[in-house]
Amino acid sequence: MAENKKMPRNWRGVTTVEQAKEHIDYGVLLSWREIRNLRKLFDESAEDQVIRHFARRMVERATNRLQAEMIVESVLIWLTSSATEKLLHTFLEEFFAQPGCDDACWLLVELALTAEPAESSKDAAMFEMAVAMICELGLSVQEYNRAYPGEFKRADQFLEYTATYLLSVSNANSICIRLSLLHYFGLYEHGRTHRTYMNRIMTRFGHTVLEHLFTVLFNKRSEAVALQFLLENLPYVLEADAASQKIVHETFKTYLLKHPDRFSLFAQTFAEALAAIDDPSFNQSVRVFIQHMGAMLRVVSNVNHKNLARELLGAVVKFHKWPIFAEVIESVRSDEEIRRQFIVFLERALIEIGDVKQSDSDKVVTIRMSRRGRRPAFSKGEVIGTMNQVAYLGGIEIQRAS
């Protein structure tokens, strides 16, 4: 009889979705040995059903801390084993569909980021997944609150609570966690006057993260993913404070001198992507990027590298249609540390694109800003989500990415 049925102690013997749901309902903790067998048996549709059941029960049992802890740990084991962004989004989608999810969110943040897992063999990988989950959770709440103000209870307080918890893990040495936080705080504080969290994480690990990203950018095997991450996230780094920009400047300078051709290609590729955004909220990013390129022109002036100067100016003039361009470019024009010859290159480039009118009494022969023939380019890879970018880039040992 059903009432005499014993509560299972583990997941051994589970072969169907219904059995898996029953184990979730009983609150049986999943183990790493068991998840390997389960994922061999379950196809994508079955995993989807199981992870949705976890989400429903998490919200239902948010008032019972012990049961909630076991559900969160089991979910993190399953998500870490699958390592698919789609399954994480499935969990959060179902989680947000439940009545009372706004209250359960607070507990999910706390348990995911502070609970000690029963098994320690994979605790580092699980913690990286926990941070990725809470980053996605926070950004989803922020986006929902912007679209439907007031519908999510105490949204602003919750977002600050989440940000504080995420900042507390920023001392972790994991490059995956650092990349996740860079992405999170960039989006979270975009458009704000003060970027307190971004400034703090840049102080803590900005140099290390940028060093890693540019090292893997200039490695053929990893350049496509590194480029995608930089194109999506560097605009937010450019919004950070002066101390953060000093870190960016030193990184740019190092790789400009180390890989001049590839760095200039990056500068042009990034400028093209940023200019194409056509969004006034990125005015600060554009302003600071042009200022960085002006600083790089000073570096190039010291070695009198004409071709490199042309390439960097090619990146600068991509912003000629932005309203702030005239104001920012004036500081480059008047910079006495930049060779006058390079400023002439700039003036000719502006004439070439029609930004400056050429008078009849001052005929100037325009110059070609880019090289003839087929231009080099970065490898184009499949566009992937942030979690997959982070997992890939964080899995590359920087010593091997020379």
- Asked whether the beta carbons of 275 and 267 are under 8 A apart, the reply is no
pTM (two decimals) = 0.90
- Asked whether the beta carbons of 197 and 145 are under 8 A apart, the reply is no
Instruction: Give the model's pLDDT for residue 346.
Output: 84
Percent of the chain's residues with pLDDT above 70? 92
Between CA 193 and CA 138, with CA 106 as vertex, the angle to 5 degrees is: 40
Q: What is the pLDDT of residues 155-211, one digit of tens each?
A: 999 999 999 999 999 999 999 999 999 999 999 999 898 899 999 999 999 999 999
- Asked whether the beta carbons of 38 and 24 are under 8 A apart, the reply is no
Instruction: List C-alpha distances in Å: 360 to 41, 239, 352, 357, 380.
Output: 78, 41, 15, 10, 45
Band the pLDDT of 398: cuts 50, 70, 90.
Answer: low
- Asked whether the beta carbons of 124 and 169 are under 8 A apart, the reply is no
Average pLDDT, whole number, for the chain?
Answer: 89
Instruction: Give the model's pLDDT for residue 174.
Output: 95
Between CA 161 and CA 202, with CA 204 as vertex, the angle to 5 degrees is: 80
Instruction: Give the model's pLDDT for residue 378.
Output: 76
What is the arithmetic mean of pLDDT over 45-56? 97
Percent of the chain's residues with pLDDT above 90? 72
Q: Give the sign of the dihedral formed by CA 51, CA 132, CA 255, CA 215.
A: negative
- Asked whether the beta carbons of 48 and 65 are under 8 A apart, the reply is no
Instruction: Give the model's pLDDT for residue 5.
Output: 63
Q: What is the pLDDT of residues 100-117, one digit of tens each?
A: 999 999 999 999 999 888
More reliable by pLDDT, 380 or 231: 231
What is the arithmetic mean of pLDDT over 248-272? 96
Extended beta strands in 215-297, E state: none
Band the pLDDT of 372: cuts 50, 70, 90.
Answer: very low
Q: Which residues contact 109 (CB under 8 A, 6 or more apart)?
A: 134, 137, 161, 162, 165
- Asked whether the beta carbons of 273 and 332 are under 8 A apart, the reply is no
Residue type, 25: D
Between CA 141 and CA 146, with CA 144 as vertex, the angle to 5 degrees is: 110
The answer for 83, left when phi > 0, alpha when psi is -120 to 50, beta otherwise, is: left
Distance in angstroms (rounded) separating the CA atoms of residues 225 and 179: 13
Q: What is the pLDDT of residues 293-307, one digit of tens each?
A: 999 999 998 887 888
- Asked whether the beta carbons of 169 and 131 are under 8 A apart, the reply is yes
Instruction: Give the model's pLDDT for residue 355.
Output: 55
Band the pLDDT of 379: cuts 50, 70, 90.
Answer: confident
- Asked whether the beta carbons of 134 and 113 are under 8 A apart, the reply is yes
Instruction: Give the model's pLDDT for residue 354.
Output: 65
Residue type, 312: L
